[in-house]
Amino acid sequence: MFPCEGQTDWAGVQPINGDNHDFWIGVVVPQSDFLNKVQEKRWALLVVILGVFALGLLMAGYVGAEASFYFYMKLLSDR
């Protein structure tokens, strides 16, 4: 990565070995071409994960309340 014209670019080179010639291929790509899509998907994934976590907490609370009620009623009936 390196700065170029106010933005960060990614660069890579790869040697190509042919039968008669050896040469290098280089590529330079603006970092924003890749990271903008990643950042959009990151926020969507975060919202989904938080929603699943909240739903899990609600379900755990409901199951805990039901279990407590069941054991409390069983305790009262045993007296």
pTM more than 0.95: no
- What are the pLDDT tens digits along the chain (79 aa)? 667 778 888 899 999 988 888 899 999 988 888 788 888 888 889 999 999 999 999 999 999 988 888 888 887 787 6
Task: Give the domain range for residue 61.
Answer: 2-77
- B/e letters for 54-64, b = 16+ CB within 10 Å, e = fewer, are eeeeeeeeeee
Number of domains the chain contains: 1
Q: With residue 78 as reference, give the H or E element that holds it.
A: none
